[in-house]
Structure 1
Amino acid sequence: MTVILLRHGRSTSNTAGTLAGRSPGIDLDDKGREQAQRLAERLGGLPVEEVVRSPLQRCAQTVEPLLERRGLTAVVDDRLEEVDYGAWTGRSIKELLAEPLWKVVQQHPSAAVFPGGEGLAQVQARAVTAVREHDRRLAAEYGRDVLWVACSHGDVIKSILADAVGCHLDAFQRIVADPASISVIRYTETRAFVLRTNDTGADLSGLVVAAEKAPHAESAAGSPSDSDAVPGGGSGPAAHSGG
């Protein structure tokens, strides 16, 4: 069974530099809507049998063009919902950099529990359980290999990928899941195979490290360092926003 992990398109919170979390009414921005249309074109020719998504609006908007093209109705699963960031929800990334918990999220995420929210270890447990359960269900229902889509959020997808490659959650910040990116996992009886990660199309320019940037240059004040992973997954290359 093969699952395409799809992160929602760029949102208004991404471009505002805030951590959306589970805030209601967070829409895709203009670029995010364009990304959703391109995803429908890119995935529309594939034999996608089912789409499962987070209940949040930005995920619903991301998969809508694909659903229309394929004639499908999405299954909504709360276990694929964004991290409950608790008191961090809605705050700016620049503000969060000063929080002592920021370093824990970066260096020891398995111990990170957001104030008034949930822990990243809890997120991984629920998300991995959801994906594997849907995978088994579809295998039993179709009796053959099925290609399906799970639309979720940056940190949630990264935690699923960490489980699939067999690495500890403390290493999950090394994984990138940009807006509208796809990552592909094939589950078998004995192990998972990660076939693709953070794929946003034929343009691979985002993988090239800017030659003009000094390798040990310090980050600007009030900005995450180049080695920091933004909670929520960020808004793509050259940007540092949650979502």
Structure 2
Amino acid sequence: MKAKQSMTTFLLIRHGSCFPVGRFLAGRASGVHLDEAGKKEVLFLEESIRGIHLDEIISSPLERTVETAEAVARGRGLEVKIRDEINEVDCGEWTGKSFEELSGNAVWIAFNRFRSAVRIPGGEMMIEVSSRMSRFMEEKRREGKNCVAIVSHGDPIRAVISHCLGLPVDFLTRFEIKTASVSVITLSDYGANLSCLNHTGMFNLAYAS
């Protein structure tokens, strides 16, 4: 008897805008909430994907992602599940530092040129981020879910998209993941398919498949 093919579509959602975006590395620091622009973004996000059936909504443990996930869950009767595997990059000693402060740091410069080979001081390597994200998504696929929303952060989303496309993590800075954006990846027994990247408008899953 032939085994049933397992295929899961993932909506990879970045959290809405918050004050640190573009200013400093919030990393895993607590107390970073959506700002007013972010609250408006996630309301529009919820409206834009309202017609898509979701089996699960899973969030990084940080406040900005949980607030985004709760907006997506509104009216669906789904509980937001929290998983560490989709957390923000551990920025170690760089947590809370402004991009201006880091601009002259030799390790920071090397990290942004060769993300596959440079560890953040006291933190993670990007290949570790890619690995934990991709393992988690494969775990969900094997559970037989049809459509799962993962609410995470810019670099973890870029890292797992790069992995699914067979791109080195060194290339992840070549595409953007905006706040409150949706990217769509389908995983099956035959591999991965990216059907939508960094979408911020009204969304129809049928057009992204």
TM-score (norm 2): 0.90
- Output one character per residue of 1:42-63: Cα deviation in whole Å (capped at 9) or x when no partner: 1111111111110110001111
Is the contact between residue 25 and residue 98 of structure 2 (CA under 8 Å) also seen in structure 1?
yes
- Secondary structure of the 1:109 match is coil
Deviation at 1:155, TM superposition (A): 0.5
Deviation at 1:36, TM superposition (A): 1.0
Structure 1 CA distance for aligned equivalents of residues 118 and 36 of structure 2 = 33
Aligned pair partner of 2:13 in 6, 19, 22: 6
Q: How does 1:161-176 map to 2 (within 5 A)?
A: 161-176=161-176
Structure 1 CA distance for aligned equivalents of residues 99 and 75 of structure 2 = 36
**Consecutive unaligned residues in structure 2, runs of 5 or more:** 1-7, 203-209
Show the counterpart of 1:178.
178
Show the counterpart of 2:154.
154
Is the contact between residue 40 and residue 69 of structure 1 (CA under 8 Å) also seen in structure 2?
no
How much is the aligned-residue C-alpha RMSD, in angstroms?
A: 1.2
Is the contact between residue 55 and residue 147 of structure 2 (CA under 8 Å) also seen in structure 1?
yes
Matched, 1:94 2:106: no
Structure 2 CA distance for aligned equivalents of residues 195 and 65 of structure 1 = 24
- Secondary structure of the 1:25 match is coil
Aligned pair partner of 2:24 in 18, 28, 39: 18
1:13 partner letter = P
Matched, 1:66 2:75: no
Is the contact between residue 141 and residue 188 of structure 2 (CA under 8 Å) also seen in structure 1?
no
**Consecutive unaligned residues in structure 1, runs of 5 or more:** 203-243
- Secondary structure of the 1:52 match is strand
- Secondary structure of the 1:159 match is helix
Structure 1 CA distance for aligned equivalents of residues 141 and 17 of structure 2 = 27
Show the counterpart of 2:140.
134
1:53 partner letter = S
TM-score (norm 1): 0.78
Aligned pair partner of 1:41 in 43, 47, 64: 47
Show the counterpart of 1:31.
37
Deviation at 1:12, TM superposition (A): 1.8
Structure 2 CA distance for aligned equivalents of residues 179 and 134 of structure 1 = 24
1:185 partner letter = I
Structure 1 CA distance for aligned equivalents of residues 176 and 168 of structure 2 = 15
- Secondary structure of the 1:171 match is helix
Deviation at 1:105, TM superposition (A): 2.1
Q: Which moved further from structure 2: 104-113 or 88-97?
A: 104-113
Instruction: Report the count of equivalent residues.
Output: 195
Tell me which stretches of 4 or more aligned residues in structure 1 moved more than 3 Å: none
